[in-house]
Amino acid sequence: MSGSGASFALVIGAGPAGLMAAEALARAGRRVVVAEAKPSPARKFLMAGKSGLNLTKDEPLAPFVATFGADWLAPVLGKFGPVQAMDWAKGLGVEIFTGSSGRVFPVSMKGSPLLRAWLRRLEGLGVELRTRWRWTGFEGEAFAFDTPEGLQALRPEVTVLALGGASWSRLGSDGAWVPWLAEKGVEIAPWQAANVGLRVDWSAHMARHFGSPVKGATLRLLPSASLHRGEFIVSERGLEGGGLYPLSPALRQGERLELDLLPATSEAEVEAKLAKMKPGETGANRLRKLGLSPVAAALVMEWGKGQPLTVLKRLPVQHQGPRPLDEAISVAGGITAAALTPDLELRAMPGVFAAGEMLDWEAPTGGYLLTGCLATGLWAGAAAARH
């Protein structure tokens, strides 16, 4: 299919957004070729499933959409939101359940059974998947690829780009496509880490707590004073975890973070309990008697040196910024809304559509991210089929 031949639709990238676009095109009667740089599809999707594949969040559509902070995505998510994501999984024969937090998972908790069923369905629709086909830019108006058979140039009737963002490059999202589209006049916002941990240079005494979760704390952003509840983990490299990741946008904008490690107890009550303890007791023992876990007490000793132990109610998190971009679960930045038509077609490149993390939107973990990729893939694929 180098250069000419039968007409076809091209999808570049075989993650959730790309596979969803391919299915929409195939169901519309298009011949579809999916080009994937890696030896197998949906590697980031499968990696996410290793800790339990969070498909979506079972909540009303309005708050679900609001979480994305991108009004232009409202029609897209209205077409494919939490209800549709759950129906999609069940349509692939995957049994799901909703946890107490509203998060939706496969009963198996894995992504691989869902992906296998999806690939079988796509094969039945005639979708052709070409692995180890790495897009290398343009050759005139053609899309150039480095393949096991050598250099190839494809000239599709219509194209959907679903190449991911710029995090987890080893799984395929390396952002290499940015200069090729920028040269075509596509506006692309700079990448920023999203859903990412914080770097902390720990003192030696913290090593015994690496891998320990901090539960039941309140995370307070300053100066906005917004409060958040959630669990996070002390790791060798800093702080990580689902309770921390949604704060990424505010922390990027310069807000400070502090912890209330006993949110159910007032500062006056903490002072009263401390006053009743025997003189001469170590700080660590006093914190234990207050009910702090060993890792929470260690954080007080790490960041509250020289201060009264009541600092546990407003403990400043001393960090060195976010972890590197490539370690972020996802990214903000990418193709701007202004560069797209309502159909997710690139204004500078008629006939070329984009979906998934390539787009400048940001969603927290907890099912939003994956649903957003599926929704934009479906929208772009359906629009490309009409083109």
Q: Report, as an integer, the average pLDDT of 202-217.
A: 96
> What is the tens place of the pLDDT at every residue in 156-168?
999 999 999 999 8
Dihedrals φ, ψ of 256, to 5°?
-95, 160
pLDDT value at position 49? 74
> What is the tens place of the pLDDT at every residue in 36-74?
999 999 999 998 877 789 999 999 999 999 999 899 999
Residue 129: name the closest of 26, 224, 8, 34 by CA.
34
User: Mean pLDDT of all residues in the chain?
Assistant: 95
Separation between Cα atoms, residue 328 and residue 321, nearest integer Å? 12
pLDDT value at position 174? 93
The shares of helix, strand and coil residues in the chain, as percent rounded to the nearest 5, are: 35, 25, 40
pLDDT value at position 66? 93
How far, CA to CA in Å, does 24 sit from each of 31, 279, 368? Answer: 11, 71, 21
> Cβ(75)–Cβ(342) under 8 Å?
yes
pLDDT value at position 153? 97
> What is the tens place of the pLDDT at every residue in 131-157?
999 999 999 999 999 999 999 999 999
How many Cβ atoms are within 10 Å of 140's Cβ, its own excluded? 7
Kindly report the three-state secondary structure assignment for every residue of 308-324: CHHHHHCEECCCCCECC
Which residues belong to CATH 3.50.50.60 in the chain?
9-193+328-386
* pLDDT over 80 (residue 170): yes
pTM: 0.91
* pLDDT over 70 (residue 4): no
Q: Which two tokens stand for residue 307?
A: 């201060």
> What is the tens place of the pLDDT at every residue in 254-283?
999 999 999 999 999 999 999 999 888 899
Could you tell me which CATH number the domain at 9-193+328-386 has?
Answer: 3.50.50.60
Separation between Cα atoms, residue 342 and residue 349, nearest integer Å? 14
pLDDT value at position 279? 86
Q: Sort 202 into a burial class: Cβ within 10 Å, 0-12 / 13-18 / 19+.
A: middle
